Structure 1
Amino acid sequence: MDINVYLQRINYAGHVSVTLESLKELHRCHVMAIPFEALDVQWKRPIRVDLEDIFDKVIVNNRGGLCYELNYLFAHFLRTVGFDVTMVSARIFERGEFGPEFDHMALIVRLEEEEWLLDVGYGDLFIEPLKLRSTEVQLDQFKDYRVEQQPDGRFLLVEALKNSERFRNKYSFDLVPREVSEFVEQCLIKQTSPESHFVKNIICTIPTETGRKTILNNTLKVKSNNQTEQLKIESEEQMLEILRDEFAIDVMHTKERVMV
């Protein structure tokens, strides 16, 4: 892995050190620079949990990706520069229940006698790492979070809008170290199952300093300073222009259709 190319891709200009300050800035830069997107599912391009493929796609060709791509890549990068990283399985809470094991990949970093939850591959989530063993509400850029330890030893991530006391479940996870091969089956299901959110929908999203930009099917939604603007996407050409101009994803050369 070319560390300098990676750092350039995420717009990280500082010195990388195995410190909490550096970890927080790396996480922030990663989330702010690389979108969460499942465009390859719509384009019928297989997503392989292969490090070389992911590096070429995300870092060299300025794409985004799913959790299995982005968190796996970030984990490898962090290990390369000296961090103690574990990949863990998370079960996303949706429609009143938790999904299957390996539904989502998250990361745990052990640093300075503390454990931190990292996740650069969820979509709309925290911008900086969260302290794992803390009962306090942790303030993030746009939302508040809490990591709750459950009686069975698992952990539950919950979030709330700023200044709200109504927290909602995001996902449940444990600290069992996982190998990337264990996520392959769920990664395939998310690309092929008719019930998959990514099969049903075009999605691409990235935070900004003032909010978030999101494509969901034929709508671009831009949130900024608590104001939201929406634009209906009328054509494939317009979709490709928005991907290029708003998300720095240039796929004008592709012949695969983007619109559903």
Structure 2
Amino acid sequence: MSSLSAAQVEAYLDRISLPEPTKSLLISGKTTSENALEAITALQQHHVAAIPYDNLALHYSAHKSLPQDTESVFQHVVLKRRGGTCIQVNLLFLELLRSLGFNAYCTAGRLNAQASIAQKVGPASAGESKESRAVFGTWVHVHIIINLHSQKYMLDTSFNQFGSPSPVPLLHDSPEIDVGPGRQRRMLHAPLPGFTNSEQIWWRMQLRNSDSEPWMDVYAFQESEWLPFDFAIMTQGLAGMGVGWFKTLVVCFRWVLEKGKPVGWIMVWGDELRRCRGGKVEVERKFYSEGDRLQVLEEEFGMHFKEDEKDGIVGTGTEIVGDDFDFYG
């Protein structure tokens, strides 16, 4: 990854429809201890509402690849107005932060299985907790750590409904309201359950929807810096092992803002459109053809696909085959 030019920074901020006062403040490089957190919060929240977390390039394309270099990702996300994976989008967002003069870096995270986007529709899909032991897997995610006037925060601009759309301070057991009306989040600085070395300490983000519910682990990370090549190795390793849902499920997720604040989310999940507001998840629409899904990707996510991109999914296991499909052709 490499730093963005001034023109690229401006195009990026326009892509996410960042309000002009915040845009001008960030470009000026004159944030202070009084307004830096507010500006970064607005930047992150407008980002997650505009740029989806998705794996569409693995399905609607001829190349079926996920480049990670800055220029390719910038072209795809900003100029083509598409989304990307956590590695693509978070690494690009890191370059935006650095280009704006902030002290930030990336690290890797382990995901709790219960917080996977592949969860079925139900209470957990809204971020609701279940009483179960956390089971952390291998390195699969990217986190940004930013230092704002001697306080570190975790930023995540590309995850599912269990991610936080706001900066999360690295403070032990300090619960905060995350998404209205009542979803809470906190960080624990503690060992991971199930790991042999109990002296190894991790930052563990947890969620719950009310005071009466148990906390649910989302993911865990440490503060060691990872380089882009580290994430490239991680990506190739996961792809080579054939693990995960990226090639077997079409997903496109973004947060929804009202008056500049996150109030819910919308997601294409296979052959369904799901929406969450006020902690309630509903299957809003079922897709019966590729035309149905592409229409929603255009209307709800602002995405437009060329004919060769649409053809990329034809004949694959993730294609939605309509009633008029000729099985004998």
The two structures share one fold, judged by TM-score above 0.5 = yes
Quickly say closer, same or farther: Cα 1:155–1:46, change in 2 above 3 A. same
Query: Deviations for 1:37-75, whole angstroms, at most 9, x for unmatched residues?
Result: 011122452102111110000011011111101110000
Quickly say closer, same or farther: Cα 1:193–1:61, change in 2 above 3 A. farther
Does structure 2 conserve the Cα–Cα contact (< 8 Å) formed by 1:138 and 1:145?
yes
Could you say which residue in structure 1 is the equivalent of 2:79?
A: 60
Whole-angstrom distance in 1 between the partners of 2:221 and 2:277: 31
| 1:26-41 matched pairs, under 5 angstroms | 26-41=43-58
Does structure 2 conserve the Cα–Cα contact (< 8 Å) formed by 1:194 and 1:200?
no
Whole-angstrom distance in 1 between the partners of 2:212 and 2:47: 27
Q: Which amino acid aligns with 1:216?
A: W
Does structure 1 conserve the Cα–Cα contact (< 8 Å) formed by 2:68 and 2:87?
yes
Quickly say closer, same or farther: Cα 1:156–1:224, change in 2 above 3 A. closer
| 1:118-137 matched pairs, under 5 angstroms | 118-124=155-161, 125-137=163-175
Q: Which of the numbers 11, 18, 39 marks the counterpart of 1:12? A: 18
Moved over 6 A (4+): none
Question: How many pairs does the alignment contain?
Answer: 259
Does the residue aligned with 2:46 lie in a helix, a strand or coil? helix
Does the alignment pair 1:171 with 2:219? yes
Query: Deviations for 1:17-50, whole angstroms, at most 9, x for unmatched residues?
Result: 4411211111111111111101112245210211
**Alpha-carbon distance, 1:154 to partner:** 1.6
Does the alignment pair 1:148 with 2:165? no
Does the alignment pair 1:257 with 2:313? yes
Which of the two has higher C-alpha Rg?
2
Percent identity of the aligned residues?
22
| 1:66-215 matched pairs, under 5 angstroms | 66-94=85-113, 96-101=134-139, 103-124=140-161, 125-142=163-180, 143-150=183-190, 151-191=199-239, 193-209=241-257, 210-215=263-268
Whole-angstrom distance in 2 between the partners of 1:220 and 1:4: 32
Q: Which amino acid aligns with 1:214?
A: M
Quickly say closer, same or farther: Cα 1:190–1:236, change in 2 above 3 A. farther
Quickly say closer, same or farther: Cα 1:219–1:60, change in 2 above 3 A. same
Quickly say closer, same or farther: Cα 1:165–1:193, change in 2 above 3 A. same
Q: Which amino acid aligns with 2:298?
A: R
Whole-angstrom distance in 1 between the partners of 2:281 and 2:218: 24
Q: Which amino acid aligns with 1:256?
A: G
Tell me the TM-score normalized by structure 1: 0.93
Tell me the TM-score normalized by structure 2: 0.74
Quickly say closer, same or farther: Cα 1:25–1:91, change in 2 above 3 A. same
**Alpha-carbon distance, 1:252 to partner:** 4.4
Whole-angstrom distance in 1 between the partners of 2:16 and 2:241: 32
Does the residue aligned with 1:208 lie in a helix, a strand or coil? strand
**Alpha-carbon distance, 1:192 to partner:** 5.7
Stretches of structure 1 that go unaligned for 5 or more consecutive residues are none
Query: Deviations for 1:151-190, whole angstroms, at most 9, x for unmatched residues?
Result: 5232111111245532111111000011011011222345
Stretches of structure 2 that go unaligned for 5 or more consecutive residues are 115-133, 191-198, 258-262, 320-329
Does structure 2 conserve the Cα–Cα contact (< 8 Å) formed by 1:190 and 1:197?
no
Q: Which of the numbers 41, 44, 64 marks the counterpart of 1:24? A: 41
